[in-house]
Structure 1
Amino acid sequence: MPGWRAAARRRRTARAAAAGELQAVETRTVQPVPKSTGGTFRSLRIYNYRLFAIGGVISNVGGWMQRTAQDLLVLDLAHGSAFALGLTTALQFLPLLLFGLWGGMLADRYPKRPLLMAAQSLMGLLALTMGVLVVTGSAQVWHVYVMAFVLGLISCVEVPTRQSFVVEMVGRKDLSNAVALNASSFNLARVVGPAIAGVLISALGGTGPMFLVNALSFGAVLAGLGMMRASELTAPDPVPRAKGQLREGLRYVLARSELLLPILLVAFVSLFTQSFSMSIALMARQVFGAGASSFGLASSMFAVGALGGALLAARRVRPSRKLLIGGALSFGVAQIVSGLAMWYPLYLLFLIPAGIALITVNTAANTSVQLAASPEMRGRVMGIYVLVFTGGAPIGAPLLGWVAEVGGPRTGVVIGGVLTMLGVGAAIMLTRVIGRRTHAAVRRATAAAAGA
């Protein structure tokens, strides 16, 4: 073939490739979500998901019992230090900030069910170890710091794997429902767990048994995973090991606004919302002088709102962008209002809309990201999502803990609400700026290919 013909063919191929890339960026390439019927709890008809959900409820109750006990234990061991409480939260989420992307990559490379079973076993062993230390009177505050950090390391793999495993159980048509039911399970446990923990801590005179109960609860998850029917899972082929897979995941997100906006929004909002449980503890203890049982009630009231919001979300097939943005702004307002409450029952009442708003934005963002991601990229995309969802806590939690220590818990809650609302605006602006730059880069590549 003459040289000029070969060169012409190469130019045509380059122009076609560049044009195809531009079209992929400028148009939504997400497949339509199949229509689903069956009501709010339709995903529970699926055998594998039903096992997953039952184990999740039991384990989540144990987890919230431990979380309540952990906060109270740190306050006792650190003589009421708000900074120590914030540092514990930061250490738990710091590994996700450092290594969360690698966890998502592992979720794409290996079968998810065995990964989940290994991670859940390690988390149960960690809770057992801490429980023994507390019961025997050997626990020191640095033990809690170490436990929080190691738990964060395990979560680097467990969280993105668990998130991306849902669609393998229920398929695309019921994904939105399953994500919302997972949130319902989590927040049902958030209602029950802290309340039970508050009563048991007062009755037993210590926090140690809560860690032991949580260790036992992991058995329910392991049993459910072990009893699943592998033939009914729609698992994609594992992605072979190759160089540049992390960069590939980042480029994939940056080129798609339907992924970029929810991820950026969650990044800015979670910077200060992940410390909201810490703020509830400080408000209950230091502002209103509540004991362990009353503190448990405050956490439960917030979870009542979150549970209601999750059940409402379970009826949606696909969340809208307006719902995502509106939920984030509403949570910022709810934070400010709750921080200004002057009467404890009124504070408890304001926690309900705060819970509704927070779970609305969380479920909307999670569902939007999973539906927009292709199967072979879902683990890495969820790794990025989990990174930004939890990665802000190492920055936001100590900062708001320090603000609460200097200016009081009310100041920390109000500032957190204001920064949440500012973060929503920043996420929208950055999505537009990055989108324009991505489009411009693709157009330059198209022009260069046409002129070659």
Structure 2
Amino acid sequence: MPPLFKHPNFVHFWIGQIASSFAFQMLSVGIGWQMYDLTNSPMALGLVGLCQFLPQLLLTLVVGHVADRYNRRLICVCTRFTMAMTVGILAYGNITDSISANMIYLCAALLGTARAFEMPANQAILPNLIPNELLSRAVSAIASAREISVIAGPALGGLIYLIGPTTLYLSSMSCFLVSCVIMFFLHYNFTVKTKSPISMEHLFGGLRFIRGNKVILGSVSLDMFAVLLGGATALLPIVAKDILHTEAWGLGLLRCSPAVGALLMSIYLARRPLTHSVGKIMFAAVAVFGVATILFGLSENLILSMIALVLLGSSDMISVVIRSTLVQLETPDDMRGRVSAANSVFIGSSNQLGEFESGVTAAWFGVVPAIIVGGVGTIAVVGLWMYLFPNLLKRDTLEQ
């Protein structure tokens, strides 16, 4: 048994993550399909995503403060129970035939609010469960569980949806409740810290800490700009139809390819964690991300495009594991909630803005030039960041 899985607390946490992630992935399929059935509007689908993202953006300072002030295990339990009850509302709406677009919008906003409080607490609790030297393995193992759910969750949700949306929502609610129970019985020693008065200085502490720590600022911003510029996956439907001339099954293969690459890399990193030259490796991984984006833009063959996306997903996973581990190890425990909240917004914003950037450049210059420009931009950012953040480039080990 790997050393990581000899820690019962981590095993419980890991299983809880799998249950919660599967619940959310299945739920995303159900909400998307049902909203489109009700409205037949692509704009409505975009508004669902917006309803989930806005609470995370607006509550950044508050959720980070809560994660640093109160018991993180109980925050996870309460938020996952809230998500379960919210999904129960959707199930009730289908049972009573009262489901509507407005009900879905409301539930999406509730889910977004619960996830806004859950994410920083969930990230900040991990270093309290295992020794620091195993944190990189733990981040990789958690990423493996997430990528498995990204690949299998939507497919499972689609199959269950064939039985009916009520069955899907009840299945998702059950997974959230299982995760909630697992987190409730997690052994986590929470120490009540001195509670200083709430102030703007305290609320902005996470952002101020990131700005002052060049290693964290460099890793977070490098990852953010790479995702922002290299958002080729947002254009997959157009690429599949107009360039690769494939059907819906081809689009499905393209969509799962980055997750497959990320899963394989996360499994490898969980077994063989990075021990030296982590700064150089991170910059190299982001550069490979840019090269893979360019290759994807130039490809006119489905297999080659899939290979490029697998390479893209695996290189991105290297960057994610290094960034996540550095953020947790460099941050004092009493600030991890606020720093994790700020980090989540950076990454979430880059995902949303990256899709917007890809759509705008594709409209201006065409799909292929937009993808290639994004890849070239990513490589340019790597070169610039190597100059701006020499401490990150010279970083040898994750923990020091």
Normalising by structure 1, we get a TM-score of 0.73
For residue 218 of structure 1, report the CA deviation from its aligned partner: 0.7
2:269 pairs, out of 313, 319, 335, with 313
For residue 50 of structure 1, report the CA deviation from its aligned partner: 0.6
Asked if 2 retains the 8 angstrom alpha-carbon contact of 1:91 and 1:145, the reply is yes
Asked if 2 retains the 8 angstrom alpha-carbon contact of 1:332 and 1:416, the reply is yes
Partners of 1:85 and 1:336 in 2: CA distance = 29
Q: Does 1:113 align with 2:70?
A: no
Query: In structure 2, do the counterparts of structure 1 residues 402 and 255 end up closer, same or farther at CA, with 3 Å as the change threshold?
Result: closer
For residue 95 of structure 1, report the CA deviation from its aligned partner: 2.7
Match of 1:43 in 2: 4
Asked if 2 retains the 8 angstrom alpha-carbon contact of 1:61 and 1:189, the reply is yes
Partners of 1:411 and 1:141 in 2: CA distance = 37
Match of 1:329 in 2: 287
The one-letter amino acid paired with 1:160 is P
2:23 pairs, out of 27, 46, 62, with 62
Asked if 2 retains the 8 angstrom alpha-carbon contact of 1:93 and 1:393, the reply is no
Match of 1:254 in 2: 211
For residue 272 of structure 1, report the CA deviation from its aligned partner: 5.2
Query: In structure 2, do the counterparts of structure 1 residues 109 and 376 end up closer, same or farther at CA, with 3 Å as the change threshold?
Result: same
For residue 74 of structure 1, report the CA deviation from its aligned partner: 5.5
The one-letter amino acid paired with 1:126 is T
SS in 2 for 1:174: helix
Match of 1:17 in 2: none
Gaps of 5+ in 2: 392-400
Query: In structure 2, do the counterparts of structure 1 residues 313 and 137 end up closer, same or farther at CA, with 3 Å as the change threshold?
Result: farther
For residue 208 of structure 1, report the CA deviation from its aligned partner: 6.0
Q: Does 1:265 align with 2:222?
A: yes
2:174 pairs, out of 203, 216, 224, with 216
1:391 pairs, out of 333, 337, 349, with 349
Match of 2:395 in 1: none
Query: In structure 2, do the counterparts of structure 1 residues 282 and 157 end up closer, same or farther at CA, with 3 Å as the change threshold?
Result: farther
Q: Does 1:301 align with 2:249?
A: no
Correspondences of 1:262-411 after superposition (within 5 Å):
262-271=219-228, 278-280=234-236, 283-284=239-240, 288=245, 290-291=247-248, 295-314=251-270, 315-316=272-273, 318=275, 320-401=278-359
Asked if 1 retains the 8 angstrom alpha-carbon contact of 2:282 and 2:318, the reply is yes
The one-letter amino acid paired with 1:305 is G
For residue 369 of structure 1, report the CA deviation from its aligned partner: 1.0
Match of 2:398 in 1: none
Asked if 1 retains the 8 angstrom alpha-carbon contact of 2:215 and 2:389, the reply is no
Match of 1:197 in 2: 157
Partners of 2:168 and 2:146 in 1: CA distance = 17
Normalising by structure 2, we get a TM-score of 0.82
Asked if 2 retains the 8 angstrom alpha-carbon contact of 1:91 and 1:394, the reply is no
Query: In structure 2, do the counterparts of structure 1 residues 51 and 250 end up closer, same or farther at CA, with 3 Å as the change threshold?
Result: same
Asked if 1 retains the 8 angstrom alpha-carbon contact of 2:297 and 2:369, the reply is yes
The one-letter amino acid paired with 2:299 is A
For residue 69 of structure 1, report the CA deviation from its aligned partner: 4.3
2:130 pairs, out of 156, 164, 170, with 170
SS in 1 for 2:193: coil
Partners of 2:232 and 2:98 in 1: CA distance = 29
The one-letter amino acid paired with 1:240 is K
Query: In structure 2, do the counterparts of structure 1 residues 421 and 228 end up closer, same or farther at CA, with 3 Å as the change threshold?
Result: same
For residue 126 of structure 1, report the CA deviation from its aligned partner: 2.5
For residue 301 of structure 1, report the CA deviation from its aligned partner: 2.7
The one-letter amino acid paired with 2:329 is L
Asked if 2 retains the 8 angstrom alpha-carbon contact of 1:131 and 1:211, the reply is yes
Partners of 1:68 and 1:383 in 2: CA distance = 26
Query: In structure 2, do the counterparts of structure 1 residues 403 and 89 end up closer, same or farther at CA, with 3 Å as the change threshold?
Result: farther
For residue 61 of structure 1, report the CA deviation from its aligned partner: 2.3
Q: Does 1:99 align with 2:59?
A: yes
Q: Does 1:240 align with 2:192?
A: no
Q: Deviations over 1:251-293 (max 9, x none)?
A: 33222222221122233234356x66644456557765533x6
Partners of 1:209 and 1:281 in 2: CA distance = 29
For residue 382 of structure 1, report the CA deviation from its aligned partner: 1.5
For residue 246 of structure 1, report the CA deviation from its aligned partner: 2.7
Query: In structure 2, do the counterparts of structure 1 residues 387 and 304 end up closer, same or farther at CA, with 3 Å as the change threshold?
Result: same
Query: In structure 2, do the counterparts of structure 1 residues 270 and 109 end up closer, same or farther at CA, with 3 Å as the change threshold?
Result: farther
Asked if 2 retains the 8 angstrom alpha-carbon contact of 1:249 and 1:381, the reply is yes
Partners of 1:294 and 1:70 in 2: CA distance = 23
The one-letter amino acid paired with 1:375 is D
Partners of 2:30 and 2:364 in 1: CA distance = 25
Gaps of 5+ in 1: 1-37, 434-452
For residue 140 of structure 1, report the CA deviation from its aligned partner: 5.4
Asked if 2 retains the 8 angstrom alpha-carbon contact of 1:197 and 1:210, the reply is yes
SS in 1 for 2:204: helix
Q: Which of 1 and 2 has greater Rg?
A: 1
Match of 1:53 in 2: 14
Match of 2:397 in 1: none
SS in 2 for 1:173: helix
Q: Deviations over 1:382-420 (max 9, x none)?
A: 122112111234433344345557777656654544444
Asked if 2 retains the 8 angstrom alpha-carbon contact of 1:259 and 1:368, the reply is yes
For residue 431 of structure 1, report the CA deviation from its aligned partner: 4.4
The one-letter amino acid paired with 2:181 is A
Q: Does 1:228 align with 2:222?
A: no
Q: 371-380 or 316-325: which moved more?
A: 316-325
For residue 316 of structure 1, report the CA deviation from its aligned partner: 1.4
Asked if 2 retains the 8 angstrom alpha-carbon contact of 1:89 and 1:393, the reply is no
The one-letter amino acid paired with 2:319 is V
SS in 2 for 1:392: helix
Asked if 1 retains the 8 angstrom alpha-carbon contact of 2:234 and 2:358, the reply is no
Partners of 2:35 and 2:8 in 1: CA distance = 40
Partners of 2:93 and 2:375 in 1: CA distance = 37
